[in-house]
Amino acid sequence: MNEANFDAPWAYANVAPYMKKDANVVVMAFLSDEGWSEDDLEWEFRYRKGARSYEKIMSVFQNYQIKEENVSWINPSATDHDRVASMIAKADILYLCGDNPEVMMRGILSLDLHRTFLEFDGVLISDACGSAICMEQFDSIYDWEDEACNGMGLLRGFALEPDYREDVRHLSRLLRDIEMKGLAVFAYGKDGGVIIDHGHYELLGNAFTCTQYDLDNIYNALEDAKQREAYYGNDWEE
């Protein structure tokens, strides 16, 4: 998914079969602020009961009739490997969220949780950044960083472009993944996502796939995006 809105009409019917009302849910939420690993007060401010992020995420699960007392929260900077691994192992649904995939990946490695994720056999739901680190490699959120970052490798054989916008940056990535890496691409924006279940996939909302057969259309869209960017700058929105 792109964010905590997978209870919206474009997703609900397809997601509902995975959301049992008696499920044990664990939310693992990362912060990307400078010094986040020491700033537990900031995490509490954002994810305490009544806070905007807390209520937004909680409301999604409640709309699937999952009770608040069945949802546990993990602050990765304020716990240890054994506690997190135990919580994940007992979870039926794990929601992985944050706003910087590099920070998230560092947190997972620092807690030595890679194998824990590989062995998790429940339902894994992630936002845009969480989805990125599920791949073998992912792109940095920083424009100046060209090298791919290593992810957990939970998903393989395709590329993922969450938080998609039809701009130069995203279209260039589509072309790179298809032409240079030979991969099909799943892409989706704010109101979209992909369900992947034992090798089968289902597109939700505004999600779409791109392959080598779409290259001409992508190149044309890239030229249009370059012209928009030259005229409007990077502030243009579709």
Q: Which of 155, 185, 206 is the last residue of a domain?
A: 155
pLDDT in tens, 57-79: 999 999 999 999 999 999 988 88
Whether residue 115 is found in the same domain as residue 127: yes
Q: Say yes or no: 28 and 113 in one domain.
A: yes
Count of structural domains within the chain = 2
- One domain, residues 95 and 200: no
Tokens 């936002």 sit at which residue? 127
Note whether 83 and 72 are within 8 A (CB).
no
pLDDT for residue 120: 96
Look up the domain containing 216 and give its range.
157-238
Q: Is the pLDDT of residue 228 over 70?
A: yes
Nearest partner of 197 among 142, 141, 136, 122, judged by Cα: 122
Q: Which residues pair with 134 in a beta bridge?
A: none
Domain boundary among 155, 175, 201: 155
| pLDDT tens per residue across span 174-208 | 999 999 999 999 999 999 999 999 989 999 999 99
Bridge pairing between strands 200-205 and 208-210 = unpaired
Whether residue 165 sits in one domain with residue 100: no
Q: What is the mean pLDDT of the chain?
A: 92
